[in-house]
Every structure is written in structure tokens, then in C-alpha cells.
Amino acid sequence: MGEEPQETDAAALVARIDTSVPHPARVWNYWLGGKDNYAPDREVGEEIVKVMPDLPVNARAEREFIGRAVRHLAAECGIDQFLDVGTGIPAADNTHEVAQRVNPGARIVYVDNDPIVLAHARALLTSTPEGASDYIDADLREPAAIVRAAARTLDLSRPTALMLMGVLEFVPGAEQAHSCVRTLLDALPSGSYLAIAHSVRSPSMEDAAAQWNASGATPLTLRTSEQLGAFFDGLDLVEPGLVSLPRWRPEAGTSYQDREVFQYGAVGRKR
């Protein structure tokens, strides 16, 4: 903890990939129908789906939410800088792709500490000539180091969107989680935004989390909607506030609007 994020060569990245235990990004990739996963990821993914068949729905709803949130921030709020912490394995419509369709000059910094994510980031997270896309090998629990590294690409004196999509679940303590979010937000000026997607408690989600935590993977902590809302204290929530992801500013093609998805999200503006 506390060290500066480091550039990592390809051989070192491969050496860090542990395929013997499931990893959140790779299980999520499996649920999304991707191919960047291993047998332990698929096995725990299947076991979790047995106790909560809608988990792949959560994954897909989160991907769609990311797109809607970024489009809203770039098109309606004029945000052209994004700090995306907990990137996950690149898929269709990543943050930089969505933002740069709206504004080719948008600048995006991705942050993740999974070597397989970073290996893909080298190949896939490419930018328009007018904008910029960079990645940082770092952990959400090292927010000060993230801020220092992000400042190489982003002008943190200008409004920036902080994206925390499906990553706060892996910071178990409330005090530490709030401290990480505060440190990152404190580095951003008024007019910046915080966007969060997070798993929330329900009987089936509790069963799924128990299955996940028994697998030996990075422990997952569920929160209530009230606990999740506390991360937005002092911010002005964008309508409709904190809701099940498909209900956040749905578009014509938004999936799962007819059901409760126990993955909630919100976007808030820093005063």
C-alpha cells in the first residue's frame, strides 16, 4: 500500500495472473458471455447462478448502465474527463469509446489491479487522436496514489467523472470504503460527478455472496440501498436518484426494465 502505481511489462503481467482461484473481473466476463476466463471462474460462476439465476442479468444491466451514465455525463453535463476505477476486462462500449463518440477530445484514465485486465488494456484501450486513454495498475484502496498517477493524463482542476462500477463491493469495511471515495472526490473540483454501481442485499444476493466468498476469491460485501446512498452524502443526485440499474434513465433499448435487478446505481454532482 502507498507505493506509486508502476508500469508493468508483458512478462511480469503474465507472471502475476493466478488462474487457480476465481477473480471478479473474469467471472463477470464469463457472465457477460466473454472468453477471457478460466475453469475456476466458470465453475464459481455456475455455482452462483444456481443460487441466483439472475446474476448474469446484473452483469449485463451494469454494462448498459455504464453506457447510459457516460453518455449522460458527456452529452448532457459536458464532462470530458473520466476516472474509471475497477475497469474490469474490456468489453463492448467501454467508457472511453462511449465518451469519445460524444466528444472525441474526451480523456479517460482506467484503474485496475488485475493483471489480465491490464494485459487487455494495453491492446484494447485505445483513444481517438484528439483525446487520451490511459491505464493505471493500482488498487482502489490506494486512492492517493491513483490521484497522483491520474494527474499525468487528466487535468484534475477541471470537472471529472469518477466511475466506480462494481468495485466498492470489494472494499469490505465501511470506514475504508468511504475514505477511499472521499479521497478521490476531494481531489476533484466542484462540478465533478460520482457514478456508482453496486450489488445490494436481497435474500438471493446474500446466498450468491456466500457462495462467492466460500470460493476463495476476493471477498464480496453487499450493502443496503441506504448504505450505498451514504456514498453520495453532500452531492446532488441526478434524477432519478439511486435505483435498480435498468431504471436509471432508461433508453429505448434498455434491458430488464420490467424486473428488480439487485444491482443499484446513481450519479451525483459535487457542489
**136-175: b (≥16 Cβ within 10 Å) or e:** bbbbbbbbebbbbbbeebbebeebbbbbbbbbbbbbeeee
CA angle centred on 53, ends 51 and 54, rounded to 5° = 125
Whether 213 has a pLDDT exceeding 90, the answer reads: no
pLDDT tens digits for range 92-103: 789 999 999 999
- Smallest CA-to-CA distance from 111 within 59, 67, 153 is with 153
Judge whether residue 3 has pLDDT over 50: no
* Residue pointed to by grid coordinates 468511504: 178
pLDDT at residue 9, as a whole number: 60
- Give the pLDDT band of residue 75 (cuts 50, 70, 90): very high
Q: 263: helix, coil or strand?
A: strand
Residue 4: its pLDDT value, please?
47
Please provide the average confidence, as pLDDT, over all residues in the chain: 89
Looking at residue 7, what is its pLDDT? 46
**Percent of the residues in the chain that have a pLDDT greater than 70, as a whole number:** 93
Nearest 5°: the CA angle 6, 110, 136 is: 5
* CB-count exposure of residue 258 (10 Å: 0-12, 13-18, 19+): exposed
Q: In which band, very low, low, confident or very high, does the pLDDT at 123 lie, cut at 50, 70 and 90?
A: low
Q: Which three cell numbers stand for residue 49?
A: 447462478
**Does residue 72 have a pLDDT over 90?**
yes
pLDDT at site 122: 67
The pLDDT value given to residue 134: 92
Distance between CA atoms of residues 45 and 28, nearest Å: 8
pLDDT in tens, 27-51: 878 888 888 888 999 998 898 888 8
Task: Supply the pLDDT for residue 90.
Answer: 77
- The confidence band for 10, taking pLDDT boundaries of 50, 70 and 90, is low
Cis status, amide bond into 240, omega within 30 of 0: yes
CA distance 262 to 268: 20
DSSP-derived secondary structure letter, 200 = B
Q: Which of 26, 66, 112, 99 minimizes the C-alpha distance to 265?
A: 66
Q: pLDDT band at residue 215, thresholds of 50, 70 and 90?
A: confident
